[in-house]
Structure 1
Amino acid sequence: GNVKQLYDTTKKLVGKYSRPERPVKDKEGKPITEIQQQRNRWVEYFEDILNRPAPTNPPDIKAAHTDFPIDVNPSTTQEIRMAIRQIKNGKASGSDNIPAEALKSDIRQIKNGKASGSDNIPVEALKLDTEEEEQVPMDWKEGHLVKIPKKGDLSKCENYRGITLLSIPGKVFNRVLMNRMKDAVDAQLRDQQAGFRKD
């Protein structure tokens, strides 16, 4: 399966929906009426919040042992299926508009014997995309920043919080990596250590 074609088709089917922007105020408290200026204000606001300088005197903490034997081979279909199962349903998708349920439906079909290995399009697409290109697709790295209103005057940027919607296929890829790292770390931990462990 061609992953690019899958993404393009999904984007065409979903389409783009945009609500009109709510008027906001600039830093001095003056209302901004032009749409592009409002968008520029949001960019400025989130850049101020997210691009903080590094601490001048970071704490002097000794680095921990990090020489873990982490598997760096291409992802297996089994690893990808397990990672897809671990992704939560009902979460908003990223800029590629691929929901977790779309990937999970493929797994259910295979489990019920309704699909053969060649019909295994989402799982195989996730596997092939990273193997053939030998890099993570840009869609998987990018996030869509959404502003959520808090209490107070909604014409002030400070009364919103931002959340980043990430690509679900990107989350699956990250989950495969995290599972591999967890296996490597768990193998190094003593059996007696019960605290601060996931399972």
Structure 2
Amino acid sequence: MSRQHIMQQAEDSLRRLQTDWIDLYQVHRFDDTTPLEETLSTLTDLVRQGEVRYIGCSNYAAWQMAKARGVSDLEGLEHFVSSQSQYNLLSRELENEVMPYCDAEKLGLLVYSPMARGVLSGKYKSKSDMPEDSRAAKGEELIQPYFTDANFEKVEAYKELLGDQGYELSQFALAWTLNQPAVTAAIVRASKSHHILDAVEISGWKWTEGLKAQVSNI
């Protein structure tokens, strides 16, 4: 997150996107080898030059975001307006500190992998049962931590709860994420056109407190 790298990557992004500015520019992961003052002052320069409109962070712990906010306040620099992290029915660590922090400081929370890298689509039955064309079968390592007996049991319980409501399990998982009050938006990976259509279909599905409670009890 040094000045040299940020400036170079911002220019590269502008060139690839063929645009004059980036609406939201987020730094990916906390860099403990570069002073936060350097990172934030560089991002502030990009904003003041008109190349970036807002800045955010990704995969920061709550204390790291708080430290960045303190530096921005002290030095008169731009503040992070968003935080991007993994969050889904099988990975809820954000609820401990990150979500309360974002809620308290009014940061937008953009969550990725709302379907747990496909595990919440229901296509995986066990560690040994992988569709041939799936990411897991192709060797994706990031999906492996989700392959636990406890998670597969939860997936089956979510299927049972979904019942005959007329939605797919993937839609159910995405809707749960969007119904969390601290979540601003969910980033969905789509390899087929119907994935986008499925997401649009449930984008306005408002859950009752009863349904939320049932899911939390699984």
Higher relative contact order (CA 8 A, sep 6+): 1
Q: Aligning the two structures, in what range does the TM-score lie when normalised by the shorter sequence? A: under 0.3
Bigger CA radius of gyration? 1
TM-score (normalised: structure 1):
0.23
**Bigger strand fraction:** 2
